[in-house]
Chains A and B, each alone.
Chain A
Amino acid sequence: MFVEHLPDERGQAHTLEAFAAALLLVAGLIFATQATAVTPLSASTSNQHVENQAEIAAQDVLTTTETRGDLKRALLYYDDGFVGADNGDHYAGLMNETHPLHDSLEEAFDRRQIAFDIDVYHPDPTAAGATDRTRMVDMGTPTDNAAVASTRVALYGDDRFGTDDEYILSENGSAEYFADPLGERDTLYTVVEVRITAWQM
Protein backbone atom coordinates (compact mmCIF):
# COMPACT_ATOMS: atom_id res chain seq x y z
CA MET A 1 0.00 0.00 0.00
CA PHE A 2 2.58 2.52 1.17
CA VAL A 3 4.88 1.72 -1.68
CA GLU A 4 2.08 2.10 -4.19
CA HIS A 5 0.91 5.53 -2.94
CA LEU A 6 4.31 7.16 -2.56
CA PRO A 7 4.83 8.09 -6.22
CA ASP A 8 1.54 10.13 -6.27
CA GLU A 9 2.65 12.33 -3.38
CA ARG A 10 6.09 12.82 -4.85
CA GLY A 11 4.53 13.97 -8.11
CA GLN A 12 2.58 16.74 -6.35
CA ALA A 13 5.70 17.89 -4.53
CA HIS A 14 7.60 18.00 -7.78
CA THR A 15 4.87 20.08 -9.43
CA LEU A 16 4.98 22.61 -6.60
CA GLU A 17 8.73 22.68 -6.79
CA ALA A 18 8.49 23.25 -10.51
CA PHE A 19 6.16 26.22 -10.10
CA ALA A 20 8.44 27.74 -7.50
CA ALA A 21 11.43 27.28 -9.78
CA ALA A 22 9.60 28.79 -12.75
CA LEU A 23 8.54 31.78 -10.68
CA LEU A 24 12.08 32.26 -9.45
CA LEU A 25 13.48 32.18 -12.96
CA VAL A 26 10.91 34.58 -14.42
CA ALA A 27 11.34 36.92 -11.45
CA GLY A 28 15.07 36.78 -12.02
CA LEU A 29 14.63 37.68 -15.69
CA ILE A 30 12.26 40.53 -14.85
CA PHE A 31 14.66 41.82 -12.25
CA ALA A 32 17.52 41.64 -14.71
CA THR A 33 15.69 43.60 -17.41
CA GLN A 34 14.46 46.18 -14.91
CA ALA A 35 17.92 46.68 -13.55
CA THR A 36 19.67 47.13 -16.88
CA ALA A 37 17.54 48.29 -19.79
CA VAL A 38 14.75 50.54 -18.69
CA THR A 39 16.12 53.80 -17.35
CA PRO A 40 15.81 57.11 -19.20
CA LEU A 41 19.53 57.23 -19.85
CA SER A 42 20.09 53.75 -21.25
CA ALA A 43 19.79 52.91 -24.91
CA SER A 44 16.13 52.19 -25.31
CA THR A 45 13.08 53.52 -27.10
CA SER A 46 12.19 55.98 -24.35
CA ASN A 47 15.72 57.30 -24.17
CA GLN A 48 15.63 58.17 -27.85
CA HIS A 49 12.54 60.26 -27.29
CA VAL A 50 14.04 62.00 -24.31
CA GLU A 51 17.18 62.80 -26.26
CA ASN A 52 15.29 63.99 -29.34
CA GLN A 53 13.01 66.10 -27.19
CA ALA A 54 15.90 67.73 -25.35
CA GLU A 55 17.64 68.56 -28.61
CA ILE A 56 14.52 70.11 -30.13
CA ALA A 57 13.84 72.03 -26.92
CA ALA A 58 17.40 73.38 -26.85
CA GLN A 59 17.23 74.43 -30.50
CA ASP A 60 13.84 76.07 -29.98
CA VAL A 61 15.04 77.98 -26.93
CA LEU A 62 17.95 79.35 -28.97
CA THR A 63 15.78 80.25 -31.97
CA THR A 64 13.04 82.01 -30.01
CA THR A 65 15.34 83.88 -27.65
CA GLU A 66 17.53 84.96 -30.54
CA THR A 67 14.52 86.29 -32.47
CA ARG A 68 13.21 88.11 -29.40
CA GLY A 69 16.63 89.54 -28.64
CA ASP A 70 16.77 87.91 -25.21
CA LEU A 71 19.79 85.82 -26.13
CA LYS A 72 21.78 88.89 -27.08
CA ARG A 73 20.62 90.71 -23.96
CA ALA A 74 21.79 87.73 -21.91
CA LEU A 75 25.20 87.82 -23.59
CA LEU A 76 25.50 91.53 -22.90
CA TYR A 77 24.36 91.10 -19.28
CA TYR A 78 27.99 90.92 -18.26
CA ASP A 79 29.95 93.02 -15.84
CA ASP A 80 33.08 91.26 -14.55
CA GLY A 81 31.30 87.94 -14.88
CA PHE A 82 27.68 87.43 -15.83
CA VAL A 83 25.46 89.67 -13.71
CA GLY A 84 23.94 87.85 -10.74
CA ALA A 85 26.25 84.85 -11.19
CA ASP A 86 26.26 82.61 -8.14
CA ASN A 87 29.41 80.67 -8.95
CA GLY A 88 32.30 82.98 -9.72
CA ASP A 89 31.61 84.48 -13.12
CA HIS A 90 28.93 82.05 -14.29
CA TYR A 91 25.60 80.65 -13.14
CA ALA A 92 25.47 77.28 -11.38
CA GLY A 93 21.79 76.73 -12.10
CA LEU A 94 18.78 78.58 -13.43
CA MET A 95 19.35 82.35 -13.35
CA ASN A 96 17.22 84.60 -11.19
CA GLU A 97 13.93 85.96 -12.46
CA THR A 98 15.21 89.24 -13.81
CA HIS A 99 17.54 87.48 -16.25
CA PRO A 100 16.35 87.65 -19.88
CA LEU A 101 16.70 83.89 -20.39
CA HIS A 102 15.05 82.85 -17.11
CA ASP A 103 11.52 82.23 -18.42
CA SER A 104 12.54 80.32 -21.54
CA LEU A 105 15.02 78.08 -19.74
CA GLU A 106 12.64 77.42 -16.87
CA GLU A 107 9.87 76.34 -19.22
CA ALA A 108 12.06 74.23 -21.49
CA PHE A 109 14.39 72.55 -18.99
CA ASP A 110 14.13 73.43 -15.33
CA ARG A 111 10.48 72.47 -14.94
CA ARG A 112 11.14 69.10 -16.63
CA GLN A 113 14.14 68.25 -14.52
CA ILE A 114 16.55 68.52 -17.43
CA ALA A 115 19.99 69.81 -16.62
CA PHE A 116 21.79 72.13 -19.03
CA ASP A 117 25.11 73.83 -19.64
CA ILE A 118 25.38 76.99 -21.71
CA ASP A 119 28.79 77.73 -23.17
CA VAL A 120 29.76 80.73 -25.25
CA TYR A 121 32.51 80.20 -27.81
CA HIS A 122 34.22 83.22 -29.28
CA PRO A 123 37.14 83.59 -31.70
CA ASP A 124 40.52 84.24 -30.16
CA PRO A 125 41.99 87.10 -32.22
CA THR A 126 45.53 86.34 -31.08
CA ALA A 127 45.67 82.90 -32.73
CA ALA A 128 44.32 82.12 -36.17
CA GLY A 129 41.44 79.67 -36.11
CA ALA A 130 41.36 79.35 -32.34
CA THR A 131 38.25 79.75 -30.22
CA ASP A 132 37.87 80.39 -26.51
CA ARG A 133 35.10 79.21 -24.24
CA THR A 134 33.29 81.20 -21.60
CA ARG A 135 30.78 79.42 -19.41
CA MET A 136 27.43 81.04 -18.89
CA VAL A 137 25.67 78.19 -17.06
CA ASP A 138 27.50 75.21 -15.63
CA MET A 139 25.35 72.51 -14.04
CA GLY A 140 28.00 69.84 -14.19
CA THR A 141 29.37 67.30 -16.62
CA PRO A 142 26.85 66.13 -19.20
CA THR A 143 26.06 62.42 -19.59
CA ASP A 144 26.86 60.45 -22.73
CA ASN A 145 23.28 60.92 -23.89
CA ALA A 146 23.24 64.71 -23.75
CA ALA A 147 21.76 66.71 -26.61
CA VAL A 148 23.52 69.73 -28.10
CA ALA A 149 22.22 72.76 -30.00
CA SER A 150 24.03 75.91 -31.01
CA THR A 151 23.51 79.24 -32.72
CA ARG A 152 25.64 82.20 -33.61
CA VAL A 153 25.09 85.77 -32.48
CA ALA A 154 26.86 88.79 -33.96
CA LEU A 155 27.82 91.53 -31.53
CA TYR A 156 28.28 95.04 -32.87
CA GLY A 157 30.40 97.92 -31.71
CA ASP A 158 27.39 100.00 -30.68
CA ASP A 159 25.91 97.26 -28.47
CA ARG A 160 25.80 98.21 -24.81
CA PHE A 161 26.62 95.83 -21.98
CA GLY A 162 26.87 95.84 -18.19
CA THR A 163 24.40 95.72 -15.33
CA ASP A 164 22.64 98.86 -16.54
CA ASP A 165 23.99 98.91 -20.11
CA GLU A 166 26.59 101.41 -18.98
CA TYR A 167 29.41 100.18 -21.25
CA ILE A 168 29.70 100.21 -25.04
CA LEU A 169 31.46 97.30 -26.73
CA SER A 170 33.53 99.42 -29.11
CA GLU A 171 34.88 101.52 -26.20
CA ASN A 172 35.02 99.27 -23.14
CA GLY A 173 34.76 95.85 -24.73
CA SER A 174 38.42 94.85 -24.89
CA ALA A 175 38.94 95.77 -21.24
CA GLU A 176 35.67 94.69 -19.63
CA TYR A 177 33.97 92.13 -21.85
CA PHE A 178 34.74 88.40 -21.95
CA ALA A 179 35.13 88.26 -25.72
CA ASP A 180 37.92 90.21 -27.35
CA PRO A 181 37.21 92.36 -30.40
CA LEU A 182 38.00 90.88 -33.80
CA GLY A 183 40.01 93.88 -34.87
CA GLU A 184 40.10 97.63 -34.75
CA ARG A 185 36.84 97.93 -36.61
CA ASP A 186 34.01 99.50 -34.67
CA THR A 187 31.11 98.08 -36.67
CA LEU A 188 31.36 94.35 -36.02
CA TYR A 189 32.72 93.59 -32.57
CA THR A 190 32.80 89.82 -32.74
CA VAL A 191 30.66 86.77 -33.46
CA VAL A 192 29.97 84.31 -30.66
CA GLU A 193 28.46 80.86 -30.68
CA VAL A 194 26.04 79.93 -27.91
CA ARG A 195 25.86 76.22 -27.25
CA ILE A 196 23.31 74.53 -25.02
CA THR A 197 24.03 71.01 -23.77
CA ALA A 198 20.96 69.43 -22.17
CA TRP A 199 20.60 66.08 -20.46
CA GLN A 200 18.18 64.19 -18.27
CA MET A 201 19.10 64.27 -14.60
Chain B
Amino acid sequence: MADVGPTRHGGIRDGEQRDEDRAQLILITGLTLAVIFVTVVLLLNTVIYTENLATRGVDAGGAEAIEFRDGAVDDLAAIMDREHRTETSVDGVTADFEASAAAYANATGDLRARDGVVADVTVVGTEPGHFIAQDEVGGGYRTLTADDGTADWTVAGNATRARNYRLMVAPDSLSASSGDAFTIVAEDSTGGSNTTWSISLWSASDPDEINVRVTNETASVTETFAPAADENHTVDVTGGTVNGEPFDALVWAEGVQNDDGTADYDIRYENGDEATGTYHLVVQSDDLDSGDDNQYGSSPSNRSSQPYVVDAVYSAKIEVSHRTPELEYGDVIRVAPGEHDA
Protein backbone atom coordinates (compact mmCIF):
# COMPACT_ATOMS: atom_id res chain seq x y z
CA MET B 1 0.00 0.00 0.00
CA ALA B 2 1.35 3.40 -0.88
CA ASP B 3 2.09 5.70 1.99
CA VAL B 4 -0.33 8.56 1.69
CA GLY B 5 -0.05 9.68 5.27
CA PRO B 6 1.19 13.16 6.02
CA THR B 7 4.82 13.47 6.88
CA ARG B 8 5.52 13.98 10.54
CA HIS B 9 7.08 17.21 11.64
CA GLY B 10 10.76 17.18 11.09
CA GLY B 11 10.44 15.03 8.00
CA ILE B 12 12.12 11.93 9.56
CA ARG B 13 10.63 8.84 7.91
CA ASP B 14 12.44 5.72 8.98
CA GLY B 15 10.90 2.17 9.25
CA GLU B 16 9.56 2.54 12.77
CA GLN B 17 7.79 5.80 12.01
CA ARG B 18 6.02 4.24 8.99
CA ASP B 19 4.45 1.49 11.16
CA GLU B 20 2.93 4.08 13.47
CA ASP B 21 1.37 5.91 10.50
CA ARG B 22 -0.26 2.76 9.11
CA ALA B 23 -2.16 2.09 12.34
CA GLN B 24 -3.80 5.44 12.04
CA LEU B 25 -4.64 4.71 8.42
CA ILE B 26 -6.38 1.46 9.35
CA LEU B 27 -8.35 3.29 12.01
CA ILE B 28 -9.54 5.93 9.58
CA THR B 29 -10.44 3.36 6.90
CA GLY B 30 -12.40 1.31 9.43
CA LEU B 31 -14.31 4.33 10.61
CA THR B 32 -15.06 5.45 7.08
CA LEU B 33 -16.34 1.99 6.16
CA ALA B 34 -18.57 1.88 9.23
CA VAL B 35 -20.07 5.25 8.42
CA ILE B 36 -20.59 4.25 4.78
CA PHE B 37 -22.41 1.05 5.76
CA VAL B 38 -24.75 2.84 8.14
CA THR B 39 -25.44 5.53 5.53
CA VAL B 40 -26.24 2.95 2.87
CA VAL B 41 -28.64 1.15 5.22
CA LEU B 42 -30.43 4.39 6.09
CA LEU B 43 -30.54 5.41 2.44
CA LEU B 44 -32.08 2.09 1.39
CA ASN B 45 -34.66 2.37 4.14
CA THR B 46 -35.55 5.85 2.97
CA VAL B 47 -35.97 4.59 -0.57
CA ILE B 48 -38.38 1.89 0.57
CA TYR B 49 -40.23 4.35 2.78
CA THR B 50 -40.58 6.86 -0.04
CA GLU B 51 -41.79 4.16 -2.39
CA ASN B 52 -44.28 3.05 0.21
CA LEU B 53 -45.59 6.54 0.67
CA ALA B 54 -45.76 7.14 -3.06
CA THR B 55 -47.77 4.00 -3.76
CA ARG B 56 -50.12 4.38 -0.84
CA GLY B 57 -53.61 5.61 -1.58
CA VAL B 58 -52.85 6.63 -5.11
CA ASP B 59 -56.42 6.01 -6.25
CA ALA B 60 -58.56 9.11 -6.39
CA GLY B 61 -61.18 7.71 -4.03
CA GLY B 62 -63.24 5.86 -6.60
CA ALA B 63 -64.01 3.06 -4.16
CA GLU B 64 -65.40 5.59 -1.71
CA ALA B 65 -67.74 7.04 -4.33
CA ILE B 66 -68.97 3.60 -5.40
CA GLU B 67 -69.52 2.69 -1.76
CA PHE B 68 -71.57 5.84 -1.28
CA ARG B 69 -73.67 5.04 -4.33
CA ASP B 70 -74.29 1.44 -3.23
CA GLY B 71 -75.15 2.55 0.28
CA ALA B 72 -77.60 5.16 -1.00
CA VAL B 73 -79.28 2.67 -3.32
CA ASP B 74 -79.64 0.11 -0.52
CA ASP B 75 -80.99 2.64 1.94
CA LEU B 76 -83.46 4.17 -0.50
CA ALA B 77 -84.67 0.69 -1.43
CA ALA B 78 -85.23 0.03 2.27
CA ILE B 79 -87.12 3.32 2.61
CA MET B 80 -89.22 2.41 -0.43
CA ASP B 81 -90.04 -0.97 1.12
CA ARG B 82 -91.17 0.63 4.36
CA GLU B 83 -92.98 3.64 2.97
CA HIS B 84 -96.16 1.86 1.97
CA ARG B 85 -96.36 0.22 5.38
CA THR B 86 -96.07 3.48 7.29
CA GLU B 87 -97.94 5.82 5.00
CA THR B 88 -99.51 8.47 7.21
CA SER B 89 -99.67 11.75 5.40
CA VAL B 90 -102.43 12.81 3.11
CA ASP B 91 -99.91 13.64 0.38
CA GLY B 92 -99.65 10.03 -0.65
CA VAL B 93 -96.90 7.50 -0.63
CA THR B 94 -94.85 9.07 -3.45
CA ALA B 95 -94.63 12.41 -1.64
CA ASP B 96 -93.70 10.55 1.55
CA PHE B 97 -90.97 8.68 -0.24
CA GLU B 98 -89.57 11.85 -1.75
CA ALA B 99 -89.59 13.58 1.63
CA SER B 100 -87.82 10.65 3.29
CA ALA B 101 -85.27 10.58 0.47
CA ALA B 102 -84.65 14.31 0.91
CA ALA B 103 -84.14 13.83 4.65
CA TYR B 104 -81.74 10.99 3.88
CA ALA B 105 -79.83 13.15 1.39
CA ASN B 106 -79.55 15.94 3.95
CA ALA B 107 -78.28 13.68 6.69
CA THR B 108 -75.73 11.85 4.55
CA GLY B 109 -74.62 15.15 3.01
CA ASP B 110 -73.88 16.56 6.47
CA LEU B 111 -72.01 13.43 7.48
CA ARG B 112 -69.95 13.26 4.28
CA ALA B 113 -69.07 16.95 4.61
CA ARG B 114 -67.03 16.04 7.70
CA ASP B 115 -64.61 14.24 5.38
CA GLY B 116 -64.53 17.07 2.86
CA VAL B 117 -66.88 15.37 0.44
CA VAL B 118 -69.84 17.02 -1.21
CA ALA B 119 -72.39 14.27 -1.60
CA ASP B 120 -76.01 14.39 -2.65
CA VAL B 121 -78.85 12.04 -3.49
CA THR B 122 -81.84 13.33 -5.44
CA VAL B 123 -84.96 11.55 -6.55
CA VAL B 124 -85.44 12.54 -10.17
CA GLY B 125 -88.47 10.41 -10.92
CA THR B 126 -90.80 7.80 -9.49
CA GLU B 127 -93.27 5.31 -10.88
CA PRO B 128 -96.36 4.54 -8.83
CA GLY B 129 -97.33 1.01 -7.99
CA HIS B 130 -99.52 -1.08 -5.75
CA PHE B 131 -98.50 -3.16 -2.79
CA ILE B 132 -100.67 -6.26 -2.55
CA ALA B 133 -100.28 -8.51 0.47
CA GLN B 134 -101.82 -11.10 2.66
CA ASP B 135 -100.42 -11.28 6.20
CA GLU B 136 -100.72 -13.75 9.00
CA VAL B 137 -104.15 -13.34 10.60
CA GLY B 138 -105.35 -14.17 14.08
CA GLY B 139 -102.56 -16.61 14.82
CA GLY B 140 -102.98 -18.64 11.65
CA TYR B 141 -102.59 -18.66 7.91
CA ARG B 142 -105.41 -17.91 5.55
CA THR B 143 -106.01 -19.71 2.28
CA LEU B 144 -104.73 -17.86 -0.77
CA THR B 145 -108.21 -16.98 -1.96
CA ALA B 146 -109.79 -13.62 -2.72
CA ASP B 147 -111.41 -11.64 0.07
CA ASP B 148 -114.79 -13.20 -0.74
CA GLY B 149 -113.35 -16.72 -0.77
CA THR B 150 -113.09 -17.24 -4.51
CA ALA B 151 -110.39 -19.80 -5.26
CA ASP B 152 -109.65 -18.76 -8.86
CA TRP B 153 -109.21 -15.00 -8.90
CA THR B 154 -107.19 -12.15 -10.31
CA VAL B 155 -104.61 -10.77 -7.89
CA ALA B 156 -103.57 -7.92 -10.14
CA GLY B 157 -105.07 -6.94 -13.45
CA ASN B 158 -103.26 -5.16 -16.27
CA ALA B 159 -99.87 -5.35 -14.61
CA THR B 160 -96.87 -4.27 -16.60
CA ARG B 161 -94.19 -5.18 -14.07
CA ALA B 162 -93.96 -6.89 -10.71
CA ARG B 163 -91.25 -6.89 -8.10
CA ASN B 164 -90.43 -8.20 -4.64
CA TYR B 165 -92.93 -11.05 -5.00
CA ARG B 166 -92.52 -13.44 -2.08
CA LEU B 167 -94.85 -16.22 -1.12
CA MET B 168 -94.77 -18.35 2.01
CA VAL B 169 -96.94 -21.46 2.21
CA ALA B 170 -97.47 -23.98 5.00
CA PRO B 171 -96.47 -27.52 3.92
CA ASP B 172 -99.52 -29.30 5.34
CA SER B 173 -101.92 -27.11 3.37
CA LEU B 174 -100.65 -28.03 -0.07
CA SER B 175 -102.44 -30.23 -2.54
CA ALA B 176 -101.03 -33.74 -2.92
CA SER B 177 -101.23 -33.86 -6.71
CA SER B 178 -100.25 -31.53 -9.51
CA GLY B 179 -103.76 -31.67 -10.97
CA ASP B 180 -105.37 -29.26 -8.51
CA ALA B 181 -102.17 -27.58 -7.29
CA PHE B 182 -102.09 -23.94 -6.25
CA THR B 183 -100.87 -22.01 -9.29
CA ILE B 184 -99.81 -18.45 -9.96
CA VAL B 185 -100.50 -17.50 -13.57
CA ALA B 186 -99.21 -14.51 -15.47
CA GLU B 187 -101.30 -14.19 -18.59
CA ASP B 188 -101.20 -11.70 -21.38
CA SER B 189 -104.36 -9.64 -20.97
CA THR B 190 -104.35 -7.80 -24.27
CA GLY B 191 -105.77 -10.88 -25.91
CA GLY B 192 -103.41 -10.71 -28.85
CA SER B 193 -100.70 -13.29 -28.31
CA ASN B 194 -102.37 -14.74 -25.19
CA THR B 195 -99.15 -16.11 -23.79
CA THR B 196 -99.11 -17.52 -20.28
CA TRP B 197 -96.51 -18.28 -17.65
CA SER B 198 -97.25 -20.17 -14.46
CA ILE B 199 -95.75 -21.62 -11.32
CA SER B 200 -97.47 -24.47 -9.45
CA LEU B 201 -96.82 -25.64 -5.90
CA TRP B 202 -97.83 -29.01 -4.47
CA SER B 203 -96.66 -31.48 -1.90
CA ALA B 204 -93.86 -33.88 -2.80
CA SER B 205 -93.96 -37.60 -1.90
CA ASP B 206 -92.22 -36.64 1.33
CA PRO B 207 -94.92 -34.33 2.73
CA ASP B 208 -92.31 -31.98 4.20
CA GLU B 209 -90.92 -31.22 0.76
CA ILE B 210 -92.41 -29.19 -2.05
CA ASN B 211 -92.70 -29.70 -5.79
CA VAL B 212 -92.42 -26.57 -7.87
CA ARG B 213 -93.29 -26.52 -11.56
CA VAL B 214 -92.59 -23.56 -13.78
CA THR B 215 -94.31 -23.55 -17.16
CA ASN B 216 -93.63 -21.04 -19.90
CA GLU B 217 -94.66 -21.01 -23.54
CA THR B 218 -92.14 -23.64 -24.60
CA ALA B 219 -91.17 -25.79 -21.63
CA SER B 220 -92.16 -27.03 -18.21
CA VAL B 221 -89.64 -27.73 -15.44
CA THR B 222 -90.43 -29.46 -12.14
CA GLU B 223 -88.09 -29.61 -9.17
CA THR B 224 -88.40 -30.79 -5.56
CA PHE B 225 -87.14 -28.65 -2.69
CA ALA B 226 -86.48 -29.44 0.96
CA PRO B 227 -88.19 -27.19 3.52
CA ALA B 228 -86.49 -24.19 5.08
CA ALA B 229 -85.45 -24.10 8.73
CA ASP B 230 -88.89 -22.90 9.89
CA GLU B 231 -90.53 -25.83 8.00
CA ASN B 232 -92.52 -23.47 5.80
CA HIS B 233 -91.84 -23.04 2.12
CA THR B 234 -90.75 -19.64 0.91
CA VAL B 235 -90.85 -18.95 -2.80
CA ASP B 236 -89.19 -15.77 -4.02
CA VAL B 237 -91.13 -15.58 -7.26
CA THR B 238 -89.31 -12.63 -8.77
CA GLY B 239 -85.98 -13.48 -7.13
CA GLY B 240 -85.96 -17.00 -8.54
CA THR B 241 -85.36 -19.00 -5.34
CA VAL B 242 -87.29 -21.64 -3.43
CA ASN B 243 -86.44 -21.97 0.27
CA GLY B 244 -83.26 -20.02 -0.45
CA GLU B 245 -82.14 -22.46 -3.16
CA PRO B 246 -81.79 -20.97 -6.63
CA PHE B 247 -84.21 -22.38 -9.22
CA ASP B 248 -82.87 -21.55 -12.67
CA ALA B 249 -86.15 -22.13 -14.47
CA LEU B 250 -87.95 -19.66 -12.19
CA VAL B 251 -87.83 -16.49 -14.25
CA TRP B 252 -90.80 -14.31 -13.41
CA ALA B 253 -93.36 -13.99 -16.23
CA GLU B 254 -90.86 -15.15 -18.84
CA GLY B 255 -92.23 -14.35 -22.27
CA VAL B 256 -95.17 -12.44 -20.79
CA GLN B 257 -93.55 -9.40 -19.20
CA ASN B 258 -91.37 -7.49 -21.60
CA ASP B 259 -88.29 -5.51 -20.70
CA ASP B 260 -89.67 -2.04 -21.28
CA GLY B 261 -92.81 -2.79 -19.27
CA THR B 262 -95.32 -2.08 -22.00
CA ALA B 263 -97.13 -5.42 -22.21
CA ASP B 264 -100.14 -5.74 -19.90
CA TYR B 265 -100.73 -9.03 -18.15
CA ASP B 266 -102.96 -10.36 -15.40
CA ILE B 267 -101.61 -12.09 -12.32
CA ARG B 268 -104.09 -14.77 -11.33
CA TYR B 269 -104.28 -17.41 -8.60
CA GLU B 270 -105.77 -20.80 -9.43
CA ASN B 271 -106.82 -23.22 -6.70
CA GLY B 272 -106.17 -20.62 -4.04
CA ASP B 273 -107.97 -22.88 -1.58
CA GLU B 274 -105.22 -25.51 -1.99
CA ALA B 275 -102.63 -23.55 0.00
CA THR B 276 -102.45 -21.36 3.10
CA GLY B 277 -99.82 -18.81 3.82
CA THR B 278 -98.76 -15.23 3.23
CA TYR B 279 -97.52 -13.27 0.27
CA HIS B 280 -96.68 -9.80 -0.85
CA LEU B 281 -95.81 -8.17 -4.15
CA VAL B 282 -95.53 -4.76 -5.71
CA VAL B 283 -97.04 -4.35 -9.15
CA GLN B 284 -97.11 -1.58 -11.65
CA SER B 285 -100.58 -1.35 -13.13
CA ASP B 286 -102.87 1.35 -14.45
CA ASP B 287 -106.07 -0.54 -13.86
CA LEU B 288 -105.56 -2.97 -11.02
CA ASP B 289 -109.01 -4.38 -10.33
CA SER B 290 -110.68 -4.26 -13.69
CA GLY B 291 -113.59 -6.62 -13.94
CA ASP B 292 -113.30 -7.89 -10.38
CA ASP B 293 -114.27 -5.65 -7.48
CA ASN B 294 -114.31 -8.21 -4.72
CA GLN B 295 -110.75 -9.37 -4.60
CA TYR B 296 -109.42 -7.12 -1.84
CA GLY B 297 -112.55 -6.51 0.20
CA SER B 298 -114.82 -3.54 0.27
CA SER B 299 -112.22 -0.81 0.43
CA PRO B 300 -109.10 -0.95 -1.71
CA SER B 301 -106.90 0.32 1.15
CA ASN B 302 -108.45 -1.70 3.92
CA ARG B 303 -105.62 -3.48 5.69
CA SER B 304 -107.96 -5.44 7.92
CA SER B 305 -109.29 -7.34 4.94
CA GLN B 306 -107.19 -10.12 3.50
CA PRO B 307 -105.73 -9.75 0.99
CA TYR B 308 -105.29 -5.98 0.91
CA VAL B 309 -103.84 -3.44 -1.48
CA VAL B 310 -102.21 -0.10 -0.72
CA ASP B 311 -100.48 2.49 -2.83
CA ALA B 312 -96.75 2.04 -3.19
CA VAL B 313 -93.79 3.36 -5.11
CA TYR B 314 -92.91 0.86 -7.82
CA SER B 315 -89.54 2.30 -8.77
CA ALA B 316 -87.53 5.46 -8.47
CA LYS B 317 -84.73 7.03 -10.43
CA ILE B 318 -82.16 8.57 -8.17
CA GLU B 319 -79.25 10.76 -9.03
CA VAL B 320 -76.17 10.28 -6.89
CA SER B 321 -73.29 12.72 -6.86
CA HIS B 322 -70.07 12.46 -4.86
CA ARG B 323 -67.49 15.20 -5.17
CA THR B 324 -64.00 15.27 -3.70
CA PRO B 325 -61.10 17.51 -4.75
CA GLU B 326 -59.68 14.56 -6.71
CA LEU B 327 -62.76 13.00 -8.18
CA GLU B 328 -66.21 14.00 -9.30
CA TYR B 329 -68.62 11.10 -9.55
CA GLY B 330 -72.23 11.06 -10.62
CA ASP B 331 -74.72 8.40 -11.63
CA VAL B 332 -78.42 7.93 -12.18
CA ILE B 333 -79.74 4.63 -10.89
CA ARG B 334 -83.16 3.04 -11.07
CA VAL B 335 -84.20 1.59 -7.73
CA ALA B 336 -86.75 -1.21 -7.85
CA PRO B 337 -85.86 -3.66 -5.08
CA GLY B 338 -86.69 -7.27 -5.79
CA GLU B 339 -87.29 -6.85 -9.49
CA HIS B 340 -86.20 -9.84 -11.50
CA ASP B 341 -83.68 -8.15 -13.77
CA ALA B 342 -82.62 -5.60 -11.17
Contacts and interface: CB of A to CB of B under 8 A. Distances in A.
B19 A7 contact: yes
B103 A25 contact: no
A186 B82 CA distance: 9
A129 B111 CA distance: 8
Contact of B104 (A4, A8, A188): A188
15 contacts: A4-B16, A8-B19, A11-B23, A15-B26, A18-B23, A18-B27, A19-B27, A45-B48, A121-B111, A121-B114, A151-B71, A152-B111, A183-B99, A188-B79, A193-B111
A161 to B, nearest CB: 16
Given A33-B42, A45-B49, A187-B96, A158 B20 contact: no
Interface of A: 4, 7-8, 10-12, 14-15, 17-19, 21-22, 25-26, 29-30, 33, 37, 43-45, 48-49, 52, 121, 123, 129-131, 150-152, 154, 156-158, 170, 182-183, 185-188, 190-193
B218 interface: no
Interface in B73-106: 75, 78-79, 82-83, 85-86, 88, 96, 99-100, 103-104, 106
B24 interface: yes
B27 A48 contact: no
A156 B83 CA distance: 10
B115 interface: yes
A18 B83 CA distance: 86
Given A11-B16, A187-B96, 18 more contacts: A7-B17, A15-B23, A15-B26, A18-B30, A21-B27, A25-B31, A26-B38, A48-B56, A121-B114, A129-B110, A150-B115, A151-B71, A154-B79, A156-B79, A182-B106, A191-B75, A191-B107, A191-B111
B99 A185 contact: yes
A187 B86 contact: yes
Counting chain B CB atoms within 10 Å of each CB, the highest count among A19, A21, A158, A191 belongs to A191
A15 B22 CA distance: 9
A12 B83 CA distance: 95
B110 A130 contact: yes
Contacts of B35: 29
A187 B79 contact: yes
Interface string B211-246: 000000000000000000000000000000000000
Contacts of B85: 158
B164 to A, nearest CB: 16
A43 to B, nearest CB: 7
A15 B23 CA distance: 5
A26 B35 CA distance: 8
Given A18-B23, A25-B31, A29-B38, A186 B86 contact: yes
Interface in B1-55: 16-17, 19-20, 22-24, 26-27, 30-31, 34-35, 38, 42, 45, 48-49, 52-53
A182 B103 contact: yes
Contact of A185 (B17, B67, B96, B115): B96
